[in-house]
Amino acid sequence: MSRHLTVAAAQMGPVQREHTREQVVARLIAMLRRAHSMGAELVVFPELALTTFFPRWFVDDISEADHWYERSMPNAATQPLFDEARRLGVGFCLGYAHLEEGADGDLHRWNVQTLVERDGSVVATYKKTHIPGHEHHEPDRPFQHAERYYFEPSPEGFGVWRAFGGIIGMMICNDRRWPETYREMGLQGVELILCGYNTPVHYVPDPSQDILQGFHNALVMQAGAYQNGTWVVGVAKGGVEEGVDSLGQSIIVAPSGQIVAQALTTDDEVIVARCDLDWCARYKDTVFDFERYRRPEVYGRITGQRGAVLPR
């Protein structure tokens, strides 16, 4: 018996600063219903889906940004999404900013994705591991990317969870560019990786990369899927948000590395693929049979050092 799961990538167009959570949740519910009518059992929404990408602005007093974060999930604004998903019997994955009061009383700011099963139960909340951008105000930039000011990097690493009849993992935006992300999950048998992203087309540190944003987006997710024998779903919040143009091109990638569905717009758009989770074994049991072919005894640098150490 093969295991099929119909998965939707629910790409979003921009969320502007003045848009309320209620307005955004109404858009998410509209896409949830559209995905359900297309047969989807799991709907994946983007990174920071509930708000505009607020790290593009710097505020000296970080508490002035607290309103961009959720303190609980679900909450009053998102409960209608949870209710409608459970009514339809559809699971979903939602990215948002989470403000958590730790046991020590300290506040922690995370960039997270929560995965919810078809019965409404929360499977897991993943915290973003690789936080890109900068820690301090850089006034010479046309827009900020101060994620390293607004979010702590997760100390938890990459878990996977048995859900939706398979083994599911999560990553958020910049995580998708790092091969370690996929391999950590590959070593736990992952079959489906869910990833939301906000990728400005203009990469300020090196504008020569601007024209390659779409290529790099597909390149990393196709490589990660193939090299680990897993499905990958990458979902954008794209379009011109507060004057900053962001990549669309949401994709669903098969364990072969082939793109099986791709968004055509930079607006709210649902794409769907019927994913055969057993297809993963074709790669995991052959060319990427880790137990047979990997050589961890010669990979010590991967975890033993952070930056490159050059030869003398």
Classify burial at 136, counting beta carbons within 10 Å of its beta carbon; exposed 0-12, middle 13-18, buried 19 or more.
exposed
For residue 11, the minimal CB distance to ligand CDV (Å) is 15
Polymer length in residues for the chain: 312
Our finding on whether 198 is near ligand CDV (CB under 6 A) is: yes
Contact between 234 and ligand CDV by CB under 6 A: the answer reads: no
| Helix boundaries (H) for the chain | 21-37, 79-88, 147-150, 179-186, 213-228, 280-284, 290-293, 300-304
133 is a contact residue toward ligand CDV (CB under 6 A): yes
Q: Which of 8, 10, 173, 195 binds ligand CDV (CB under 6 A)?
A: 173
* Shortest Cβ 91–ligand CDV spacing (Å): 24
Query: Is 236 near ligand CDV (CB under 6 A)?
Result: no
Query: Nearer to ligand CDV by C-beta: 47 or 117?
Result: 47
199 is an interface residue for ligand CDV by CB under 6 A: yes
- Cα 27 to Cα 29: distance, rounded to the nearest angstrom: 5
The CA distance from 192 to 233, in Å, is 8
Interaction between residue 112 and ligand CDV (CB under 6 A): no
Question: What amino acid is encoded at 253 in this protein?
Answer: V
CA distances from 284 to 115, 148, 234, 256, 258 (A): 25, 35, 21, 11, 16
Q: Considering the rule CB under 6 A, would residue 183 count as an interface residue with ligand CDV? A: no
Looking only at residues 47 through 76 of this chain, which bind ligand CDV when binding is defined by CB under 6 A?
A: 47
Q: 48: phi > 0 → left, psi -120 to 50 → alpha, else beta; which?
A: left
**Window 29 to 48, contacts with ligand CDV (CB under 6 A):** 47
Residue 92 to residue 86: CA distance in whole angstroms = 10
Which positions are catalytic? 47, 128, 173
**How far apart, in whole angstroms, are the C-alpha atoms of residue 136 and residue 190?**
36
Q: Judged by CB, which is closer to ligand CDV: 113, or 174?
A: 174
Residue 145 binding ligand CDV, by CB under 6 A: yes
Supply the DSSP symbol for 203: -
Size of the site for ligand CDV (CB under 6 A): 10
Contact pick of 92, 150, 197, 279 for ligand CDV (by CB under 6 A): 197
Determine, following the binding rule CB under 6 A, whether residue 284 of this chain makes contact with ligand CDV: no
Binding site for ligand CDV (CB under 6 A): 47, 132-133, 145, 173-174, 177, 197-199
